Structure formats: C-alpha cells, structure tokens
A and B are shown apart, each in its own frame.
Chain A
Amino acid sequence: MMDEQTQTGGGGRGAPVIEPGYSFATITDKISAIVLTRPTSNGWLVGFGVFFLITMLLLYAMGYLFVRGIGIWGVNIPIGWGFAIVNFVWWIGIGHAGTLISAILLLLRQPWRNSINRFAEAMTLFAVACAGMFPLLHLGRPWLFYWLFPYPNTMNYWPQFRSPLVWDVFAVSTYFTISLVFWFIGLIPDLATLRDRSANRWAAIIYGILAVGWRGSARHWSRYETAYLLLAGLATPLVLSVHTVVSFDFAISIVPGWHTTIFPPYFVAGAIYSGFAMVLMLAIPIRKIYGLEDFITQRHLDNSAKVMLATGLIVAYGYAMEAFMGWYSGNTYDAYTLWNRLHGPYAHVYWSLLTCNIFLPQLLWIRKFRTNPGLLFMVSSIVLIGMWLERFVIVVVSLQRDFLTSSWGMYYPTRWDWMTFIGTLGFFLAAMFLFLRILPMISIFEMRTLLPQAEVKAE
C-alpha cells in the first residue's frame, strides 16, 4: 500500500517523491552528514551572522520600547492596532503551513510530506514565536503579560472569558505548545540516530540526552505511532481553530470591514497560502545549497505550488465576497469601507494587495512556474508580501475611518515599527540557520519508510 502511494502520491504526476537508488543506510548517512560531518561553511557563518545582528536590532527596538512605552510606535487613536497586530497575524499565518504539512497531510496519507515536514514544523515554531512577541509588546506593560492567564492572585481578579482576546491567548499558547511537542516527538528517533552516528563525544552525549534513550523497540514504535497519529488528529482541528480565533479578534467587534462571518475561513485559507509561500521560499534555497534535490523533488515544489494556488483562490473568493457584501448589504458604513479601500488614502496598498495576492499568483496555472525553482521562489515572495499587505488593509484601513468622520485618522509607521518587524525576520532566519546546523532538517526515519524495501513482503 505504501509502495503504491509512493508511486502515485494520491493523483500527483511527474517526478517521484524520492529519487531511486537509495537504501536505508544512504538516506541516513546523507541527512545526518549535514549535521555531523559537513564543515560549517563560510556562507552559513555569514548568513547566520547577518541575521543574528538583525536579531540584535530587534532587542534594541524592544529595549527602547520597554523604556519609553508604545508611544515610540505610530499607533494612536483611532488606529490603535498598527504594525504589531499586522505582523502578529502575518507571522502566525505563516506558521499554519507547518502544521498543515505535518498533521493534515499525514492524516490524508500524503507520503510526499515526509521530506518537508521537519523543517516546516521548525518554521511553524519560529514563526509562532515571532507572532507571540507582538501582542505582548503591544500590551503597553509587557512585563505584566502573565495577567492574561487565569491564576490565583492577590488582586482577586480573573481574565474575562467572554473576550476574544482571551480566547486568542489560549489558542496561540496551545498552538505553540502542541507544535513544540509534536516537533519534539518527531525528532526523537532521529536524535537517536545522531547519538549513534556521532563521532564527537559531547555531541553524542547531548543528542543522547535529547533522544531520551530511544532504542527503536517494536513496543515503543507501536505506542509512538499511535501517539503521533492521535497528535496529528488533535493538531488538525487546532490549526484550523487558531486562525479562526485570530479572526474573531476582528469579527466579534462591530468595526465596518471586520464585522463579517466570512473572516474565519478566509483567514485560515490566507494563513495556509502565506505559509506555503514561506515553505517554498525556505525549501528552494535549502535543497539547492545542501544538495537535497533527490529528497525534495519537483513533486514537492509542484504540489506546494498547487496548494498555494488553491488557497489563493479561496482568498480571492473572500475578497470578492467582502466587496459584494459591501454593496449588497446596503449598509452605508460597509459600502464606504469598500470605497475607502479602492479609492481612499491607502488605495495603493489595496491595489498592490490585489496584484500580489490574486493577479500575479495566477501564473501558477502555468506548469513552468510550478516546477522552475527560480520562478516559484519569485511568486512565493510576491504572495508573502501580498499577505502582509492584506493584514495591513484589514487592520489599518478598517480602523482608519469608522462611523464618525470626526474620529478619522491616518497611520504612519515609525522607524521603531520597522525595526521591530525587520528584527523578527532576522530572528526567524537566525533560528532557521541554527536549526539547519544542529538538527536533521529532514525526518530520517520517515524517509526510510518511503523506500520500497521498507515494505514487509508477505510470505
């Protein structure tokens, strides 16, 4: 059964999910060598160094924020949610692709996911970490963030569970925790491989501690597989719920442009859209630099591009419905929100968003754009920019002009806004660089199961 799926991959065509000619030993050696024996290249050092410095920029911006307060940002009434919430929604959306690949595609029995799930899950963790910073920094008194959690305190005070903002705290922290443990148990068997293959004693000890004494017993594997499958089953509704809850932050309010029932599905589709764009932007250089074209093949690029195209069309439907409802509802404020998007002071942002998210990605209908790594990389970066602009339009353009003309305003991000945003990009990429260097970026044991010789032949 595995074999049949490996060949056909649920209807995909063209390239195989793993090039022929590999054995259990060569797969193990090839992936573990990247971590264990490959020398640290100058390119890695330079890349990590640059992104590390950008992370320091983030710490600088955060330090200044702690000293001066969020007045250093461009936020003010009426636009109290500026870059912080734009970036929060953007980052957490990016994380969604990792969980989609690791959990939903596992349940759908798509074995092509096996070579990209590990680094996509790492991407999820780092993206959610970046996302989580923003609402905390936006609190005003970030050091009191623990007030968000229900714990017995001397103030005799409790969180307000009827508020979507409190739901969000639970959704995002649950999402981070489950993503972390899912990633970790996926790593255990590979950490055991690194423990047994490491020539360096200290590396062997550290990998050995992390591998918790894994020895590959059949009893352990049986429980492991059950736990992994159940976790995937739990993570699937979880990932769909997280962006739904994020969209509730907007949809539960009465602000024109936010108060709409299409938000949850359209947020989830947008999340997966941007997440796959990020997966491709990471996978394309990684497979080239580390020579992993045999494991991350044309099939992976093609399939991911198709997921992007499909979710992009759902997002396009969301925009169309928003515009339609703006007209059809007959509500003056909704109609004005639509007009303001198309012709208001931020109209260039809205038109750029439509170009990046809807018009240009239609190039993915052409096969060449799905299989040529350079072109696909370009389309993915356009989608990521487009999705960021979408969040800008949702957050800023809706708040900019609501019911009363006397309370209209404009939002201009300051250099501290930009430094914080660019700083999280640096943090994300620096963390990815470290991950590539010290942990196996492709799940070794799941790759072994893709080989035809992994199948037990009936007597």
Chain B
Amino acid sequence: MKRTPIYGILAEFDSPTDLVDAARRTTNAGYKKIDAYSPFPIEELAEAIGFHNNGVPLVVLIGGLLGCVGGYLLQYWIAAISFPINIGGRPYNSWPAFIVVTFEMTILVAGLAAVFGMLALNGLPMPYHPVFNVPRFAFATRDRFFLIIFSSDAKYDPVETRHFLENLEPRSISEVPS
C-alpha cells in the first residue's frame, strides 16, 4: 500500500495581517486544499482560504423549528388528546397558555443545535490530528499564525510547494508527518 508520508507543509507567521496576506496569495496561486490556524477568530481568514458557507445557520434554523413545532405538539397532545382536563372551562387546546413552553423549547433545541451542530460540522471532538505532530504548533493557541498546504492538493509538489511557501517569508516552515 502506497501512502503519502507527508500530510502537508506548515508555514508559521507572526501576525494576522501576514497570515491573511499569505493565505490570499496561496489561494490566488491555485492551491485549493489549504487551511489556516490562528489563536483567535479572524474574520477575513475564512474567505482568504476560500471557505464561504459554514452551514451552522441552517442547522440552528432546523433545530429551532423542530423545538417550536415539537414543543407545541407535545402540549397539544397531552392537554387535548392524552390527558384532557377541564380547567375553569378553558378549551383543551388553550394555546395562549402553551406559548411559554413552546418558546423555551424553541430556544433549547436551537441552542443545542448550534453547539452540537458546530462541533459536528467541525469534526470535533478529534483528539488526534497530524498538525499536532509539529512541536511549534503548540504556539497556534498562543501567539503564532499558521498556514498549511495539504499534500492531497492537486498542485502539491514537495519541492515546489515548499519553495512557494518560502517566498511568503514565513518565520518557519515544517513538514507535517501524517
């Protein structure tokens, strides 16, 4: 079985501006399978690596709708079908009294969808990842900014790609073993 021994090439930068600039130049050079790592969210970065649609809002919308409809139907089924009780002559489906729980269920399911949807779309939890093999990557959660070109990219070439990254003037370059 032939396996690519290298997962990608990782370049380290000092500032968010350098990283975004490097990411843009890498995308413009035709590299598609790249990623960037930063110690805090950088708004421009996702676009710079060509990532546009993150999918979270749709998941939250679906969660909210499910919670809303499910919450109401639960109360309707209980109060009007399974366990009808006459409370002060109110109709069994006394909807104004059901709004509060419907609202809370909407928030609950939408909120849980936001958290677990985000984690699932990100493929987390993922305890092991090849980039963790690079010792300097520990600084990605402190003050350093990294750009990686994956070896699975069509344009990837061990020598050419490394040369290209060197031209971006990074602080260091490391090969990521897979």
Cβ–Cβ contact A218 & B42, under 8 A? yes
Cβ–Cβ contact B126 & A162, under 8 A? no
A residues near B122, Cβ cutoff 8 Å: 217, 219-220, 223-224
**Does B45 reach chain A (CB closer than 8 Å)?**
yes
**Does B172 reach chain A (CB closer than 8 Å)?**
no
**Does B178 reach chain A (CB closer than 8 Å)?**
no
**Does A38 reach chain B (CB closer than 8 Å)?**
no
Contact with B along A190-211 (1 / 0, CB 8 A): 0011011100000000001100
Cβ–Cβ contact B75 & A161, under 8 A? yes
B residues near A28, Cβ cutoff 8 Å: 39, 141-143
Which of B46, B64, B117 is the one whose CB lies under 8 Å from A219? Answer: B46
How far, in whole Å, are A177 and B111 apart by their CA atoms in the complex? 9
Q: How far is the CB of A94 from chain B (nearest CB, A)?
A: 20
| Selected interface stretch from A45-53, A283-291, A442-450 | A442-450
Are A219 and B110 also in contact (CB < 8 A) when A158-B82, A162-B90, A227-B118 are?
Answer: no
- A: number of interface residues (CB 8 Å): 68
Q: Which one of A218, A222, A225, A454 has the highest number of Cβ atoms from chain B below 10 Å of its Cβ?
A: A218
Are A221 and B82 also in contact (CB < 8 A) when A189-B141, A216-B37 are?
Answer: no
Contact with A along B83-95 (1 / 0, CB 8 A): 1010100100010
Q: How far is the CB of B49 from chain A (nearest CB, A)?
A: 5
| Selected interface stretch from B1-9, B128-136, B163-171 | B128-136
How far, in whole Å, are A231 and B16 apart by their CA atoms in the complex? 26
Cβ–Cβ contact A448 & B100, under 8 A? no
How far, in whole Å, are A82 and B172 apart by their CA atoms in the complex? 66
Which of A166, A235, A238 is the one whose CB lies under 8 Å from B101? Answer: A166
Q: How far is the CB of B90 from chain A (nearest CB, A)?
A: 7
How far, in whole Å, are A219 and B53 apart by their CA atoms in the complex? 10
Cβ–Cβ contact A24 & B103, under 8 A? no
Q: What class of interface size applies to chain B in its complex with A?
A: 35 or more
Contact with A along B122-166 (1 / 0, CB 8 A): 101111110110000111111100000000000000000000000
Which of A160, A170, A248, A457 is the one whose CB lies under 8 Å from B105? Answer: A170
Q: How far is the CB of B160 from chain A (nearest CB, A)?
A: 23
Cβ–Cβ contact A161 & B54, under 8 A? no
The dominant DSSP class at the A interface is helix
A residues near B139, Cβ cutoff 8 Å: 196
Are A196 and B56 also in contact (CB < 8 A) when A177-B111, A449-B40 are?
Answer: no
Are A448 and B39 also in contact (CB < 8 A) when A24-B142, A212-B125 are?
Answer: yes
Are A208 and B127 also in contact (CB < 8 A) when A174-B108, A456-B20 are?
Answer: yes
**Does B68 reach chain A (CB closer than 8 Å)?**
no
Which of A217, A226, A245 is the one whose CB lies under 8 Å from B118? Answer: A226
What 3 A-B pairs have minimum CB-CB distances, sorted nearest first?
Answer: A24-B143, A227-B118, A212-B125
Binding site for B on A (CB under 8 A): 23-25, 28-29, 150, 156-162, 164, 166-167, 170-171, 174, 177-178, 181-182, 184-185, 189, 192-193, 195-197, 208-209, 212-227, 230-231, 234-235, 237-238, 241, 245, 248, 445-446, 448-449, 453-457, 459
